[in-house]
Amino acid sequence: MARLFSPRPPPSEDLFYETYYSLSQQYPLLLLLLVIVLVGLLALLAVAWASGRELASDPGFLTTMLCGLGGFSLLLGLASREQRLQRWTRPLSGLVWAALLALGHGFLFTGGVVSAWDQVSFFLFVIFTVYAMLPLGMRDAAAAGLASSLSHLLVLGLYLGPQPDSQPALLPQLAANAVLFLCGNVAGAYHKALMERALRATFREALSSLHSRRRLDTEKKHQEHLLLSILPAYLAREMKAEIMARLQAGQGSRPESTNNFHSLYVKRHQGVSVLYADIVGFTRLASECSPKELVLMLNELFGKFDQIAKEHECMRIKILGDCYYCVSGLPLSLPDHAINCVRMGLDMCRAIRKLRAATGVDINMRVGVHSGSVLCGVIGLQKWQYDVWSHDVTLANHMEASGVPGRVHITGATLALLAGAYAVEDAAMEHGDPYLRELGEPTYLVIDPRAEEEDEKGTAGGLLSSLEGPKMRPSLLMTRYLESWGAAKPFAHLSHVESPVSTSTPLPEKALSSFSPHWSLDRSRTPRGLDDELDTGDAKFFQVIEQLNSQKQWKQSEDFNPLTLYFREKEMEKEYRLSALPAFKYYAACTFLVFFSNFIIQMLVTNRPPALTITYSITFLLFFLLLFVCFSEHLTKCVLKGPKMLHWLPTLSVLVATRPGLRVALGTATILLVFSMAITSLVFLPAASNCPFWAPNVSSTASNLSWELPGSLPLISVPYSMHCCVLGFLSCSLFLHMSFELKLLLLLLWLAACCSLFLHSHAWLSDCLIARLYLGTLDSRPGVLKEPKLMGAISFFIFFFTLLVLARQNEYYCRLDFLWKKKLRQEQEETETMENLTRLLLENVLPAHVAPQFIGQNRRNEDLYHQSYECVCVLFASVPDFKEFYSESSINHEGLECLRLLNEIIADFDELLSKPKFSGVEKIKTICSTYMAATGLNATSGQDAQQDAEQSCSHLGTMVEFAVALGSKLDIINKHSFNNFRLRVGLNHGPVVAGVIGAQKPQYDIWGNTVNVASRMESTGVLGKIQVTEETACALQSLGYTCYSRGIIKVKGKGQLCTYFLNTDLTRTGPPSATLG
């Protein structure tokens, strides 16, 4: 309970909450309170008129009623404008309270004899509504409630104290009044504390949901950017749907399919042009670069090429080392795709010429272009890279390889599409390329119209090198010059959506100024904790406030039925009704307080007959049993120390909190107990109309002797029984989460019972009390305000409607709280799924150990990622037979079915990566039917150099086993596809540089002599064999593998090399073999 009444946080933290609170919850309640008071005043006038009283004969009553109607109508007019209420919340609330208090005191001294029980129910109404319906803070409400209580007690005490006729019964009555008011204050404060706690939680959950939506939107943008950095939009949507299905089915699993094939995301496009470009002389230059220089150089060069591609409507497909290729006419067809590619090729050559002229570095650009049709898409399961396949792609590749540095080499098909846009000259060369020689078609070199202009202008050859001095390395000269190009960093386009929140962005001043014009927009008052959630602009903030407004409960909603407030989804309604309610024990405890107050009141105003005492004793026992059940979990330590047979007792509290049926039964029983005990004293009053004060000969002296009926209770217990009944109404409101229909049923039941008792069966008791007050003169009638049964009935109806309004309000906010919690959970789950999807996508572009460099919250993309390694094993595994297998005909859908088989091969290879023993293998890329992977990339930079060779290169064994597993996979595919494909594998190990390059399509890659030699080991290898260099053979032998010499072979770019074949028939043999001798 202490938490419920804990002091509120500092005002700065409540700035936005109080705005929401006053508008959404208290504003309609204040209006309803004023309406209820006005209707009550009109009802009093109607009852006075209907009972035959002459209103003109009681000017005090009439004046009080007219002043009340006028005053509260004026207050209703003032409060009917939200902006006015928002500006003058506390003053207006104070005026309403003061008006209620003045009305109550007016009622006290109007209409007849003043008694100690007069207007106790009205003041109880004032006290409770100050807490429950006025937009006041807890301290202000408590001050107003206590002031109302004390004003009634002091006024009556001072007025009635000197009167001897009232003196004997005055003190017990004032004590009973004090108990009533104390109970009203506690019940009101309890109701306010619980509602504020629930409303604050709902408000925070709503803002958390807003924050969660922002995160969700951010993650969706991440995914879109990431997918579009890998794939075209049309393919991204299709593949995203499959990833979502995989995430829902379980990490890494594939959704069930109607066939045994992996999904193939490849389509055929006709009317495209393919450009291949290679930087001549780059390999020698790269060998002189530091890792940072190499990655920077590549990123700047290819970033520049990406810019040129964008200008000419070309799509970069892939970067292979220092080779760059792109396509024009994808994904949308373009009529001038051939011109686009030629222009791009010329601009690339021009950029390299400028680079050479500025730095004096001897590099050049060789470009080949061919036009035709392609199959484009993605194959495999991991490290997706959009790629193109077809004979026309192969031809474009050979056009580049056989081209002339600094020129664009095109085929006849491309020339036909240029339609004279560029002058060309015959290539006039005997093709050394067997592929082109076999085709026998003429090829052409495009004449750059601006090349002659550039030659005439001349260039400051080696300008930068002359300025920097002759001693500067060419690679450093290139790096300095390329930095001036300012290419974007990889994933730079994600930086503006990286952080889902901004800790420095305040709530829009426009939102605050329009929302709460009377507050100063001092930024120091802005709660730092809410900045993160509320900096989303006016629209979203007001949307959340609007969704929380209690007035929406009467409007059409997607979630609620406006009449019953039931959720439209039956499952959600069922979940709400079955939800746990840990606060039920506090409801029961506060109801016990009401019961205990009734007990004290009846002990004060009755002569405490034994039967009444016995009845209360039994009820006390039942209440203590109920409270023990509700709070049994707090007795766990004590119970566990006792006999084992009692160890089950603490579970009772959990059962009550989690079983809705049990809660409803206990809550109903508790309220019915309070109801029954509120009217128990009436049982001990005679039912027959036998009032001794009606006799005409009763004298004033005789009547002063006693206030009791002969052999019964004092008459003053009658109005206090009515007050106890009012407390019975309040007990219903204490069960905040009790369903509205059950509260309505109980309140109706109690209203009917009270009215039938005091207006019918026991109405004579009120008449007898009036007779006692007015000395038995039957023709002397008090005003309607002084007649207990009439004022009691009016009080019952006022409390009935007031508590019904609060019950509806509570029901709405309980359901709204449940709804926001559910939405928040769903959004958090969706956000988590999206975050996982983003992580999977990023890890599909980058290795797992590199991805955090780009998804960290503090990542600014200021530095290029690069890393050097001393010992990395690089594998190239190809299926050379696939080139012969591939064909394009109508039977195989122009090569699509051939690619379906290649997709199966690559996908099966990728599935091996998910095995724990191959967790250290990192797939780099696929190049047609060649699979490239590496091990040793997840080691910390530089640590290999500090370890001995055997330990630092132990991952070579993993790569060998992976190569063997690839062969086994291919054998299985051969068996099912009736093919005879064989694997050709090349391995090499040594130092490499790893990095991420490319802003448009970021790509992780590795470079270095180790990679080049590994590629040559594969291309010069033998089918079914794993070829390795001599150094790698020695390292593998130290790990227990057997290698045998192949001999000296000629390797392009490396000269004569002695290579070895790995004996894959054996696993690790233990002692090293002597076959390397």
Residue 540: predicted pLDDT: 56
Residue 3: predicted pLDDT: 44
SS3 for 495-518 is HHHCCCCCCCCCCCHHHHHHHCCC
Would residue 197 show up in a list of annotated catalytic residues for this protein? no
Q: Hey, what long-range contacts does 641-649 have (CB within 8 A, 24 or more apart)?
A: none
What's the CA gap between 985 and 987, in Å, rounded?
7
What's the CA gap between 846 and 887, in Å, rounded?
33
Residue with tokens 């000197």: 162
pLDDT tier at 216, thresholds 50, 70, 90: confident
What value, to the nearest 5°, has the Cα angle with vertex 658 and ends 652 and 661? 90
Residue 207: predicted pLDDT: 73
Neighbours of 957 (CB within 10 A): 18
Radius of gyration of the chain (CA): 45
Neighbours of 488 (CB within 10 A): 16
What's the CA gap between 614 and 845, in Å, rounded?
81
Residue 520: predicted pLDDT: 34
Q: Single out the residue of 564, 499, 502, 494 nearest to residue 534, CA to CA.
A: 502
Q: Single out the residue of 369, 365, 441, 443 nearest to residue 407, CA to CA.
A: 365
Task: Please say whether the dihedral angle defined by the alpha carbons of residues 226, 227, 231 and 233, taken in this order, is positive or negative.
Answer: negative
- Please state the rounded mean pLDDT for residues 994-1021: 85
Residue 202, CA atoms < 13 Å, CB-side half-sphere: 25
Q: pLDDT at residue 191 above 50?
A: yes
What's the CA gap between 726 and 713, in Å, rounded?
20
SS3 for 60-84 is HHHHHHHHHHHHHHHHHHHHCCHHH
- The percentage of the chain sitting over the pLDDT mark of 90, rounded to a whole number, equals 26
Residue 638: predicted pLDDT: 64
Coil vs helix vs strand at 889: coil
What size, in residues, is the chain? 1077
Neighbours of 638 (CB within 10 A): 11
- 682 or 574, which is more confident: 574
What's the CA gap between 757 and 971, in Å, rounded?
94
Q: Average per-residue pLDDT in the chain?
A: 78
Phi-psi sector, 318: left (phi>0), alpha (psi -120 to 50), beta? beta
Q: Give yes or no for a contact between 61 and 783, defined as CB atoms under 8 angstroms apart.
A: yes
End-to-end C-alpha distance for the chain, whole angstroms: 86
Q: pLDDT at residue 560 above 50?
A: yes
- 176 or 203, which is more confident: 176
User: Which of 301-305, 689-693, 977-981 comes out lowest in average pLDDT?
Assistant: 689-693
Range with the largest mean pLDDT of 368-377, 425-434, 937-946: 368-377
pLDDT tier at 476, thresholds 50, 70, 90: low
Would residue 528 show up in a list of annotated catalytic residues for this protein? no
DSSP states along 731-743? HHHT-TTS-HHHH
Cα separations in angstroms, 487 against 396, 811, 831: 27, 59, 32
Phi, psi torsion values for 445, nearest 5 degrees: -110, 130
Q: Give yes or no for a contact between 329 and 271, defined as CB atoms under 8 angstroms apart.
A: yes
Residue 166: predicted pLDDT: 47
Neighbours of 351 (CB within 10 A): 17
Which residue out of 237, 525, 883, 1052 is catalytically annotated?
Answer: 1052
245: enclosing H helix or E strand: helix 233-249
Which residue out of 815, 1016, 1025, 1046 is catalytically annotated?
Answer: 1016
Phi-psi sector, 1007: left (phi>0), alpha (psi -120 to 50), beta? beta
Which DSSP letter does residue 253 get?
P
pLDDT tier at 868, thresholds 50, 70, 90: confident
- Please state the rounded mean pLDDT for residues 643-649: 63
User: Which of 47-56, 139-148, 400-409, 754-763 comes out lowest in average pLDDT?
Assistant: 47-56
Residue 584: predicted pLDDT: 86
Q: pLDDT at residue 324 above 70?
A: yes
Neighbours of 48 (CB within 10 A): 22
- 3 or 147, which is more confident: 147
Tens-place pLDDT, residues 34-63: 999 999 999 999 988 888 777 777 788 889
- 778 or 708, which is more confident: 708
Q: pLDDT at residue 794 above 50?
A: yes
pLDDT tier at 531, thresholds 50, 70, 90: very low
- Please state the rounded mean pLDDT for residues 851-874: 70
Q: pLDDT at residue 700 above 60?
A: no
Tokens of 175: 């004590």
Cα separations in angstroms, 732 against 43, 84, 745: 24, 34, 10
SS3 for 136-192 is CCHHHHHHHHHHHHHHHHHHHHHHHCCCCCCHHHHHHHHHHHHHHHHHHHHHHHHHH
pLDDT tier at 292, thresholds 50, 70, 90: confident
Residue 332 burial (CB < 10 Å; 0-12/13-18/19+)? exposed
